[in-house]
A and B are shown apart, each in its own frame.
Chain A
Amino acid sequence: MHPLEEHYLDLTRRRFFGVASRSIGAGLGGVALASLLGAGRGRADGHPGPTMPELGVPVGPHFAPKAKRVIYMHMEGAPSQLDLYDHKPVLRGRFNQDLPDSVRQGQRLTGMTSGQARFPVAPSIFKFTRYRNHADGVWLSELIPHTASVAHEICFVHSMHTEAINHEPGITFFQTGNQQPGRPSFGAWASYGLGSGNANLPTFVVLITQGFGNMQALSARFWGAGFLPSEHQGCKLRSGGDPVLFLKDPDGVTRADRRKMLDVVGQLNEIEAHRSMDPEVRARIAQYEMAYRMQMSVPELTDFSGEDEDTLNLYGPEVRKPGTFAANCLLARRLAERGVRFIQLYMRGWDQHNNLPGELKAQCAAVDQPQAALIKDLRRKGMLDETLILWAGEFGRTVYSQGTLTEKNYGRDHHPRCFTVWMAGGGVKPGVTYGKTDDYSYNIVENPVEVHDLHATMLHLLGLNHTNLVYRHQGRDFRLTDVFGRVIPELIA
Chain B
Amino acid sequence: MESILQFGGRLHPMVLHAPIGLVIGLLMLEVVGLARRRPLAREVRLGLVWLTALTAAVSIGTGLLLNRAGGYPGKTVWLHQWLAVGTGSIIVLAAISAQARRMTVYALLIAVAGGLLVPAGHFGASMTHGEDFLLEPFQKRDRAKPVSTDATGPTDSAVITTDSSTYARVIAPIFADHCINCHGATKHKGGLSLHMPQAIVAGGDSGVPIVPGDPGASELIRRINLPIDDDEHMPPRSKDQLEPEEMKTLESWIRSGASFESTNDSVTESAAATGPSAELATGPAPADAGAIAAIRDRLVHVEPLARGSALLVVDAAAVSGSIGDAEVASLFKPIAGQISDLSLARSRITDSSMALIASMPNLRRLNIGDTAVGDAGLRHLASHPVLEEVVITRTAATSDGLAVLASLPKLKRVYAWGARITPEGVSVFRHTRGDVVVDTGESEDAGVIEAESEVALSAAPQPATTPSLKAVNMVCPVSGKPVDEGFLLVYKGRIIGFCCRHCLGQFLDDPAKFESKLN
Using CB atoms and an 8 Å cutoff, list the residues of chain A in contact with chain B. Answer: 58-65, 68, 89, 92-98, 100-101, 117, 123-133, 137, 148-152, 194-201, 297, 337-339, 376, 379-382, 385, 407, 431, 463, 465, 467-468
- Which of A60, A62, A65, A128 has most B Cβ within 10 Å? A62
Question: By the criterion CB–CB under 8 Å, are A200 and B417 in contact?
Answer: no
Question: By the criterion CB–CB under 8 Å, are B452 and A64 in contact?
Answer: no
By a CB distance below 8 angstroms, the chain A residues around B443 are 376, 379-380
**CA gap between A148 and B449 in the complex, in Å:** 12
By a CB distance below 8 angstroms, the chain A residues around B458 are 92-93, 95
**CA gap between A381 and B440 in the complex, in Å:** 9
**CA gap between A368 and B496 in the complex, in Å:** 54
By a CB distance below 8 angstroms, the chain B residues around A137 are 449
CB-nearest residue of chain B to A372: B445
Question: By the criterion CB–CB under 8 Å, are A129 and B301 in contact?
Answer: no
B 290-303 to A, binary, CB cutoff 8 A, 1 in contact else 0: 00000010010101
By a CB distance below 8 angstroms, the chain B residues around A101 are 465
CB-nearest residue of chain A to B304: A61
Q: Which of B9-17, B73-81, B313-321 contacts A (4 or more CB under 8 A)?
A: B313-321
- Which of A58, A96, A130, A380 has most B Cβ within 10 Å? A380
By a CB distance below 8 angstroms, the chain A residues around B450 are 129-130
Question: By the criterion CB–CB under 8 Å, are A149 and B301 in contact?
Answer: no
Q: Determine whether B100 belongs to the interface, using a CB cutoff of 8 Å to chain A.
A: no
Residues 438 to 483 of chain B near chain A (Cβ within 8 Å): 439-441, 443, 445-460, 462-463, 465
A92-B458, A130-B451 known; A339 and B446 CB under 8 Å?
Answer: no
Find B229's partner among A60, A61, A63, A467 (CB 8 Å cutoff).
A467
**CA gap between A94 and B462 in the complex, in Å:** 8
CB-nearest residue of chain A to B311: A64
Beyond the given pairs A63-B226, A467-B229, 8 more chain A to chain B contacts, judged by CB atoms under 8 angstroms and listed by A's residue number, are A68-B313, A98-B465, A125-B457, A150-B445, A150-B446, A151-B446, A199-B296, A338-B317
CB-nearest residue of chain A to B452: A127
Question: By the criterion CB–CB under 8 Å, are A339 and B318 in contact?
Answer: yes
Question: By the criterion CB–CB under 8 Å, are A130 and B448 in contact?
Answer: yes
Question: By the criterion CB–CB under 8 Å, are A297 and B446 in contact?
Answer: no
B16 to chain A, nearest CB (A): 35
CB-nearest residue of chain B to A200: B318
Question: By the criterion CB–CB under 8 Å, are B446 and A381 in contact?
Answer: no
**CA gap between A199 and B229 in the complex, in Å:** 32
By a CB distance below 8 angstroms, the chain B residues around A149 are 445-446
CB-nearest residue of chain A to B346: A337
Q: Determine whether B393 belongs to the interface, using a CB cutoff of 8 Å to chain A.
A: yes
Question: By the criterion CB–CB under 8 Å, are B446 and A197 in contact?
Answer: no
Q: Determine whether B50 belongs to the interface, using a CB cutoff of 8 Å to chain A.
A: no
Interface size on B, residues (CB 8 A): 56
A149-B446, A382-B369 known; A60 and B452 CB under 8 Å?
Answer: no
**CA gap between A126 and B457 in the complex, in Å:** 11
Q: Can you name 16 A-B residue pairings with CB atoms under 8 Å?
A: A58-B303, A59-B307, A95-B458, A97-B460, A97-B463, A100-B463, A101-B465, A117-B484, A127-B455, A131-B449, A132-B448, A132-B449, A196-B301, A201-B318, A337-B317, A382-B439
**CA gap between A60 and B449 in the complex, in Å:** 43
- Which of A60, A65, A198 has most B Cβ within 10 Å? A198
Question: By the criterion CB–CB under 8 Å, are A63 and B446 in contact?
Answer: no
Using CB atoms and an 8 Å cutoff, list the residues of chain B in contact with chain A. Answer: 225-227, 229-230, 276, 280, 296, 299, 301, 303, 305-307, 309, 313, 315, 317-319, 345-346, 367, 369, 389, 391, 393, 413, 415, 417-418, 439-441, 443, 445-460, 462-463, 465, 484, 486
Task: Classify the secondary structure of B's interface with A.
Answer: loop
A200-B299, A200-B319 known; A96 and B459 CB under 8 Å?
Answer: yes
Question: By the criterion CB–CB under 8 Å, are B451 and A127 in contact?
Answer: yes
**CA gap between A203 and B247 in the complex, in Å:** 36
By a CB distance below 8 angstroms, the chain B residues around A152 are 446
Question: By the criterion CB–CB under 8 Å, are B465 and A198 in contact?
Answer: no
Question: By the criterion CB–CB under 8 Å, are A380 and B441 in contact?
Answer: yes
**CA gap between A199 and B301 in the complex, in Å:** 7
CB-nearest residue of chain A to B345: A337
By a CB distance below 8 angstroms, the chain A residues around B457 are 92, 95, 123, 125, 407
**CA gap between A255 and B417 in the complex, in Å:** 39
By a CB distance below 8 angstroms, the chain B residues around A63 are 225-227, 306-307
Question: By the criterion CB–CB under 8 Å, are B306 and A62 in contact?
Answer: yes
By a CB distance below 8 angstroms, the chain B residues around A463 are 306
Question: By the criterion CB–CB under 8 Å, are B230 and A465 in contact?
Answer: yes
By a CB distance below 8 angstroms, the chain B residues around A199 are 296, 299, 301, 318
By a CB distance below 8 angstroms, the chain A residues around B413 are 382, 385
By a CB distance below 8 angstroms, the chain A residues around B439 are 379-380, 382
By a CB distance below 8 angstroms, the chain A residues around B313 are 68
A127-B451, A132-B446 known; A197 and B301 CB under 8 Å?
Answer: yes
The 7 closest A-B pairs by CB, nearest first: A382-B415, A380-B441, A149-B445, A382-B391, A380-B417, A151-B446, A198-B318
Question: By the criterion CB–CB under 8 Å, are B305 and A64 in contact?
Answer: yes
A65-B306, A339-B301, A381-B369 known; A297 and B318 CB under 8 Å?
Answer: yes
**CA gap between A335 and B456 in the complex, in Å:** 45
By a CB distance below 8 angstroms, the chain B residues around A148 are 446
By a CB distance below 8 angstroms, the chain B residues around A94 are 459-460
A202 to chain B, nearest CB (A): 12
